[in-house]
Amino acid sequence: MKRYTDLFIDFDDTIYDTHGNAQIALGELFDHYQLQRYFPSKEAFTVPYWRENVALWAQYTRGEITRDFLIVERFRRPLCEGKGLNPTTEQCLEVSDCFLNLCADKPATLPGAHELLAYLKKQGYRMHICSNGFHEVQYRKLRASDTLQYFDTIVLSEDAGANKPSGAFFDYAFKTTKAVRESTLMIGDNQDTDIAGAYHAGLHTIYYNPEGLPLTNPRAVTYQVKALSEIAKIL
């Protein structure tokens, strides 16, 4: 008998190549708005974007800022570094909408993602996306990457009214999926939102750690892998 019947799986940068797809979209955004008029290079725009995006997502995950604040500020801050630029909230929202549209249609997944999902599906696991991403964007990315077919349930923070790693998010996930804690395992790439959150919710975990980052909470990590293909050896 299998030890686990249900798998909670993070989407961004676990299955979907969020960073790679977004980097392409940022380049397209730069060209669309002719930002070379204000920045000496694309890197002069994309580097501060990533810096601010990472910091703002961390704040959003902790419940310190709202979704609307994140959407505006992750573009206002890097754009303000352009010579002569002082974007309004409306302009930032326009840029954000353009960026999200460009991102949502990018198809790239991480190496081995489709092979792993097909294997897990064949093994009979019930699979559930557990993501802090925005509702309208996540479904488009799932379709663009042809991964929606593998999942029984899509659990998103906007629907849960709480973000990972909060217990409220995982309570909502169990209520929605009808999964049982003792036979559910979490797979994710973020030590705080995915792994620590799942651990405190009483789950075993697989930490997808391709960069070999040091563990901040070793007790929370049941298994650790550097490649998605290694998960098939565990499950």
Look at residue 62 in the predicted model and tell me its pLDDT. 85
Look at residue 61 in the predicted model and tell me its pLDDT. 82
pLDDT tens per residue, range 19-39: 999 999 999 999 999 999 999
- The list of the chain residues with pLDDT below 50 reads 1
Contact 33, 111 (CB under 8 A): no
pTM of the predicted model as reported, rounded to 2 decimal places: 0.91
Q: Which domains does the chain have, with CATH numbers?
A: 6-17+108-234 (3.40.50.1000), 19-103 (1.10.150.240)
Contact 228, 206 (CB under 8 A): no
d(CA 98, CA 2): 45
Look at residue 2 in the predicted model and tell me its pLDDT. 66
**Rg of the chain taking only CA atoms, in angstroms:** 18
Place of tokens 């070793």: 218
Look at residue 136 in the predicted model and tell me its pLDDT. 86
